[in-house]
Amino acid sequence: MSTTTITVVFLLLLSTSAAFRLSNVFGSNMVFQRNKNISIWGWTTTIEDEIIVKMQDLFAKANVNKTTGFFNVNLPPQKASLIGRNITFTSSNTKQTITLANILFGEVILFSGQSNMEFVLPAAINATSEIATADDYPYLRFFSGTQQNVDTLISSKINKFNVTHNELKYIHLNWSISSSSVVGGCQDISGACDTCCGNPMPAMDPKGSYVSAIAFLTARKLFHLLNQTVPVGSVIQAYGGTSIQYWMSSDALS
């Protein structure tokens, strides 16, 4: 890959604290969609000259809104690869560095809907045998967002579904590599417990998994259909009991 430099206007912040962070929708082990522009964002409260972004021999500079501290960087499209890469973000003033490690580029699927989508792998009839296969698929990655009715988005406009939200209030499963422990959930609790490893248990789940059965089985099948050369990332955002209209576009409804 040839060295590419993206020049973006950078604005100073009128703040003195030393911190910057990425949105919580990003994490190590995640999968970005292949052959599409890569957008990564976050916030800073420092007076920055610039934030340098590096991925192998690719360099970029992030632009920052001096009022909100919001910054965003766009990286060029990448081909599918099974080789993990690191993306580092470095503050020029504080020298603080954030690293997204073991990043893959492949296919990313959003699994949204009601309880039949939320239905987790440990609740399936053939759960034991399916969970056991998860260790053989390290190129499948899973992310599970908010699910229960206590969840809210960080915004005063939570009922505005056409408003962009830059992050979730919390997440149930950050980007994780497929394994029997990830898709199988916690095994050290009784069926009477309503929490697992300190987190609320998702619906229909006796073992604390946050991996949808449909997400795992679909991702695994797609990986094979793509000749096991393209990683697959699954973003699970399902909520049992919700009205199906909320998961449909206005065009689909009309």
What pLDDT score was predicted for residue 244? 80
What pLDDT score was predicted for residue 205? 46
Per-residue confidence band for 251, with pLDDT thresholds at 50, 70 and 90: confident
pLDDT tops 70 at residue 98: yes
Per residue in 60-89, pLDDT tens?
A: 998 778 888 889 999 999 999 999 999 999
Residue 232 is encoded by which pair of tokens? 């697959």
**Backbone φ, ψ for residue 218 (5° rounding):** -70, -45
Within 13 A of 33's CA, how many CA atoms are on the CB side? 10
Mean pLDDT for the chain?
A: 80
**Backbone φ, ψ for residue 115 (5° rounding):** -65, -30
Per-residue confidence band for 18, with pLDDT thresholds at 50, 70 and 90: very low
Residue partners of 63: CB distance under 8 A and separation at least 6: 8, 9, 10, 11, 71, 72, 73
In the three-class reduction of DSSP (H, G, I as helix; E, B as strand; rest coil), residue 53 is classed as: strand
Do the beta carbons of residue 114 and residue 205 sit within 8 Å? no
Instruction: Choose from 38-47, 50-59, 173-182, 226-235 the range with maximum mean pLDDT.
Output: 226-235
